[in-house]
C-alpha cells in the first residue's frame, strides 16, 4: 500500500514536469469502451471493511461501477 502511495506521488510529480508532459499518453486512448457484445457480470462475494460480505446481487436494479485498484 505504501508503494502504491509512493507511485501516486511520483506520478503527480512526473506530470508536473514539462519532460513528463511530453510522455503523457494520448487522452483518446484512455477512455472507457462499450463492452461489445455485453455480457452478464461475473458474480462475486467479497468481504468489506466491516467484515460483511458484498455481493453483486446486493446491487440488483442499480448501476454499479466496479473499480479495481492497482495496488501491490
Partner 1 sequence: MSADHVATLDAFTKQNKIRLPLASDFRRTMLPAYDAMVTNEQSPIYRYAKRAYFIIDREGTVRWIKVMDNPLDLLKPDEVLKALKESGAS
- What's the number of CA atoms in the CB half-sphere (13 Å) around residue 70? 3
First to last CA, the chain: 6
Q: Which is nearer to partner 1, 18 or 46 (CB)?
A: 46
Regarding 71 and contact with partner 1 (CB under 8 A), the answer is yes
Q: How far is the CB of 18 from partner 1 (least distance, A)?
A: 18
Neighbours of 22 (CB within 10 A): 7
3-state secondary structure string across 3-24: HHHHHHHHHHHHHCCHHHHHCC
Site for partner 1 in 10-69 (CB under 8 A): 11, 25, 27, 30-35, 38-42, 44-49, 51, 54, 56, 59-69
List contacts with partner 1 (CB under 8 A): 1, 7, 11, 25, 27, 30-35, 38-42, 44-49, 51, 54, 56, 59-72
Amino acid at each position: 500500500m505504501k508503494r502504491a502511495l509512493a507511485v501516486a506521488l511520483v506520478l503527480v510529480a512526473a506530470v508536473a514536469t514539462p519532460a513528463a508532459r511530453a510522455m503523457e499518453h494520448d487522452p483518446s486512448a484512455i477512455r472507457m469502451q462499450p463492452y461489445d457484445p455485453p455480457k452478464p457480470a461475473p458474480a462475486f462475494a467479497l468481504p468489506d471493511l466491516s467484515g460483511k460480505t458484498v455481493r453483486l446481487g446486493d446491487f440488483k436494479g442499480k448501476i454499479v461501477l466496479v473499480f479495481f485498484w492497482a495496488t501491490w
